[in-house]
Amino acid sequence: MDDGAMLGACHSRTERQAMADRQAADRSWSTLNALEHPRLSDLFAADPERLAKLSTRLELGEGGVLFDWSKTHLDDPHLDEFEALAEAMDFAGARAALLGGGVVNVSEGRAAEHTAQRGTGSEEAVALAQVLHARMAGLVDAIHKGVFGEIRHLIHIGIGGSALGPALAVGALARPNGSLGGAMVDVHVVSNIDGCALEAAFAGCDPQATMLAVASKTFTTIETMTNAASALAWLESAGVADPFGRVVALTASPEKAVEWGVDETRVLPFPESVGGRYSLWSSIGFPVALALGWPDFAEMLGGAATMDRHFATAEGRDNLPLRAAFADLLYSRLRHCQTRAVFAYDERLTLLPSYLQQLEMESNGKSATLSGNPVDGPTAPVTWGGVGTDAQHAVFQLLHQGTSLVPVEFVAAVVPGDDLDEAHHRILLANCFAQGAALMQGRCSDDAARTYPGDRPSETVLIDELSPASFGALIAFYEHRTFANAVLMGINPFDQFGVELGKQIAGQMEQGGAIFDPSTQALLLAAGIGS
C-alpha cells in the first residue's frame, strides 16, 4: 500500500483517490519549492492586510491568546499551496479520524484519544474519561480533606510524557507566591534515574507529610520503577508505618500497579489510547489537580477543549495549529532549517521548551511514512530553546548573526505572574518584542561584524493571562500543530519505536555477559559495569 492508500485506509478513502491525492501532494511540493521568498519587510510593505491575515486571537471566555505568525515568510502564494497540500493529504479526514476516535496510530493499530479527556471523541471514550476523572477528583478531594493525614508534599515519579506535562503545568500555574496563590500541595517531579534527583526531592519533603505518585503508562519503565522503590524505602526508613498506603498509581496498566503493591482504590487508570506525551489531561495530571485543586484542573481541560473546537472547525489558514504547521514546513522543508527555537518570556514556562522537545521530536522525528516508505523530505526539526531574557545573553548572538537560519517562537503573557514593581514585566515584554523586531529588521553597517542580515522569522504567542484555561489552550495548540505537521508529511506522530533499541541495550549491559563494540566495552570496563 502506498502512503495515500494507507491514509485512505485510515480515513475511508478509496485507493484510487489516495493515489490521485499523493500525486497532487507531489505537485504541491514542487510548486512550493519553486515559490519565491520575498523579504519579510517586503511582505509587510506589499500587503497592508498582512498583520490582520496572520495575527489571530483565540477567545477563551475570560481573556484569550494572540497568535502572530505575520513575521514568518508565509504569504498568499505559500498559504494557497499549503492549503492545496492539506487537501491532497486529506487533512480534514485525518482530523476527523483523530477527533472521532479513529485508528490514527496505524503502526500500533489504535486511536489517539487525548482529546476525549477534554470532551471531544467517540461517545465511549468521552464517557470513560468522565468516569475516570470523577474517580481522580474523588481521590484529590480525599487527600485535601486529610483522609491520608496532613499531606503537604507530593513526590511525582515518572519520566518522559509521564513527567514533563505535570512538571510544566505545576511550574506554570502553581507558583509559591504568585498571583494565583500558593499550591495546595508542594509537588516535586522526579524523572531521572540519577539518584541525585530523588535525593533533592527528599531534601525538600517531610516524609510524614508526603505522598508518592508513581506515573507510568506501562508501569514497567526502569527509571520510574527504580525511583519508586527507593522512595518507598525512604518513607519506610523515616518511620512511615504503611509506605504503600501513601502511593497513588497513574497508569494505563492498572493490573501491574496492583501487582506491584498499590491498593486498587489508589490506582487511577487512563486508557491505552492516550499516548504518554499527550497524557497531561488524564490521571497523569493528578499532581496538577492536587496542587491547584480540581476546579483549576477542570479549567485547564476547558481551555484545551476551546482549542479543540477551533481545531475541529476552522479551515485552511484560519486554523491556528494548521497555519503554524504551514510555517513549520516552510522552514524545515523549503528553507532547510534543521532546528526551531522556542523562548518563553515567562519564568513560569521555563519547562516549555523541554516539554515541546518531547512532544515534537518524539512525535515527528521519523524517517518512514505511514505506509513504511522512506519519507521524501526532512521531518521534525530539532526543537530547542530557553527562557527570556536569559537566552538573549547566551544564544541570541547566533540567531541574529550566525549562519544558520532558525525560526524562533516567542511565548509571553501580558499580565505579570509576579507582584514586584511593574518595571520587571514591562522590561521583560519589551525585550521579547525587541528580539522579534530586530531579527526581522536587521541593520546595515560598513563593518561586517556589526551587520545584522535581518529577515529572520519569528512567531509570537501572546497570552493575556497565564491561567489554567489559557495554559490548556496553549498546550492543545502545540498538540494539534504537531499532528497537523505529521499529516502534511504523511507520518505517524503517535508511535516512538526509536526509543526502544537504547533501552534494550541498557538492559543487556545491566545483565552483563553481552559483548559490544570496543569503545563501549572499554567504557563499561572503566565504569566497572557488567562482567
- Cα-based distances in Å from 240 to 57, 133, 502: 51, 29, 37
- H or E segment and range at residue 437: helix 423-441
Range in contact with ligand F6P (rule: CB under 6 A) among 50-58, 156-164, 363-371, 456-464: 156-164
**Nearest distance, CB of residue 250 and ligand F6P, angstroms:** 9
Q: Which is nearer to ligand F6P, 184 or 249 (CB)?
A: 249
Q: Is 76 helix (H, G, I), strand (E, B) or coil?
A: helix
271 touches ligand F6P (CB under 6 A): no
If binding is defined by CB under 6 A, does position 276 make contact with ligand F6P? yes
Instruction: Please name the residues in contact with 500: beta carbons below 8 A apart, sequence gap of 6 or more.
Output: none
DSSP 253-307: -HHHHHHHT--GGGEEE--TTS-GGG-TTTGGGHHHHHHH-HHHHHHHHHHHHHH
**To which residue does cell 513504511 refer?**
372
Sort strands 64-68 and 55-59 into parallel, antiparallel or unpaired: antiparallel
Smallest gap from residue 25 Cβ to ligand F6P (A): 29
Per-residue x/- marks for ligand F6P, 195-224, CB under 6 A? ---------------------xxx--x--x
Question: All 3 cell numbers of residue 123?
Answer: 461517545
In whole angstroms, what is the distance from residue 5 CA to residue 314 CA? 26
Residue number with CB closer to ligand F6P (76 or 272): 272
The stretch near ligand F6P (CB under 6 A) out of 137-145, 158-166, 202-210, 288-296 is 158-166
Nearest CB to ligand F6P, comparing residues 121 and 166: 166
Residue whose C-alpha cell reads 511540493 in the numeric block:
29
> Interface mask (CB under 6 A) for ligand F6P, residues 470-499, using x and -?
--------------------------x--x
The answer to whether 362 is a known catalytic residue is: yes
529 binds ligand F6P (CB under 6 A): no
The secondary structure element, H or E, covering residue 518 is: helix 518-527
Question: What is the size of the binding site for ligand F6P (CB under 6 A)?
Answer: 14
State in angstroms the smallest separation of the CB of 513 from ligand F6P. Answer: 24
Active site residue 256: no
Provide the strand spans (E) within 288-431: 339-344, 382-387, 408-413
386 binds ligand F6P (CB under 6 A): no
Least distance (Å) between residue 56 CB and ligand F6P: 31
Q: Is residue 145 annotated as part of the catalytic site, yes or no? A: no
Q: Does 277 bind ligand F6P (CB under 6 A)?
A: yes
Q: Is 410 helix (H, G, I), strand (E, B) or coil?
A: strand
Active-site option among 36, 123, 150, 393: 393
Neighbouring C-alpha atoms within 13 Å toward the C-beta of 202 = 16
Contacting residues toward ligand F6P, per CB under 6 A: 159-162, 216-218, 221, 224, 276-277, 362, 496, 499
Q: Which residues are marked as active site?
A: 362, 393, 503
